[in-house]
Amino acid sequence: MRAVVIGASGGIGAALVEALRDEDAEVHAFARSFEGDRRIDVADEASVTAAASRVPAGVDLVFVATGLLHDDGRGPEKAWRELDADWLQRNFLVNSIGPALVAKHFLPLLPRDRRAVFAALSARVGSISDNKLGGWYGYRASKAALNQLIRTLAIEEKRRNPQSIVVALHPGTVDTGLSKPFQGNVQPGRLFTPDRAAVQLLDVLDGLKSGDSGRLFDWEGKEVAP
């Protein structure tokens, strides 16, 4: 198996790399914090293009494990009074546009004649029908946009390879820097280590069929409503 992990320096991304290598996969790992040929910045298309050029065609899995929830003292908005154009743009750039650019340059590396998977980390809060609490405007909206992008990519990719699977994944709450400020209300047993989350997500991918393409699934393999 040959795999690509984008965001391989993060908690989930690094765990995915290790889990895949434990299964004897050949893994091409990229992250913004890496140096040289292993560096990628999903917000910079030239960087994405360069990274894709260093991966041979015939990849079985591309996994985008990037995401933004808080940064430099900024976090998810609690009310509309906190809406800020720059912060909204930053959310969409990292959570929506970045994975779309990865798809643009990495989908051509997937085969046309066998099962191949493109997966991106999303979130249950990106579900419009599941929104009961409000708040978190930029994160919710950018993840909802990602889910729509995944759906659209899946439709087009199906024409190129009927066996392809393009999905978004909700990993649950994982003990990483992204979730650290928001772990207080997590139910017992529902705060996962990165290693456990990685295995759960890979198990979900292993169980998916081509007919599942374009959907959002949680860490238990259950579909999350749009």
pLDDT digits (tens, 9 = 90+) for 118-147: 999 999 999 999 999 999 999 999 999 999
Residue 7 in domain: yes
pLDDT, residue 131, reads 94
Short-list 120, 114, 99, 96, CA closest to 217: 120
How far out from the chain centre does Cα 4 lie?
Answer: 12
Residue 224 in domain: no
Residue 226 in domain: no
Total number of domains in the chain: 1
Short-list 143, 101, 92, CA closest to 122: 143
Residue 82 in domain: yes
Q: CATH number of the domain at 59, please.
A: 3.40.50.720
Q: Is the pTM of this model over 0.85?
A: yes
Residue 175 in domain: yes
Residue 85 in domain: yes
Residue 225 in domain: no
In this prediction, residues 177-188 reach a mean pLDDT of 70
**Range(s) of the domain holding residue 117:** 2-218
Residue 122 in domain: yes
pLDDT, residue 76, reads 94
pLDDT, residue 72, reads 83
